[in-house]
Amino acid sequence: MKINYDGLKFRSVQNSGGGEVGSETIFSYRQSGDIVRAEYQGGEIVCGHLIALCDSDGGLAMRYHHVNSAGQLMTGVCKSTPEILPDGRIRLNESWQWTSGDMSSGKSIIEETPA
């Protein structure tokens, strides 16, 4: 399934304990070829960026970094697997791990916001 993420916005709907992204966090995606990038902010996130490679199934292998509301610079890795919802929006099922802080891992779900 080929997915074009360019211009899409996503919002967090679920996250494991230890994650900092919440329902107030908005991700704004851009895509050029197989390279996907996004800026994100809101809630505990003051400013964040991610960069990813998109595979032929729309999966994303990404690296991310952000500054949280405590003024800490946080970094991590994430694998996102897309799912198409009944209304046509995209849900990303994510497995992540911090590469800073406590190095914990978890799972999260973000969904495309309605146009």
**pLDDT tens digits for range 15-34:** 998 999 999 999 999 999 99
**In this structure, are strands 45-54 and 26-32 parallel, antiparallel, or unpaired?**
unpaired
pLDDT at 1: 62
The mean pLDDT value of the chain amounts to 96
Distances (CA, A) of 67 to 43, 55, 93: 11, 28, 23
State pLDDT tens for residues 81-104: 999 999 999 999 999 999 999 999
Instruction: Return the pLDDT at 115.
Output: 76
Query: Model pTM?
Result: 0.94
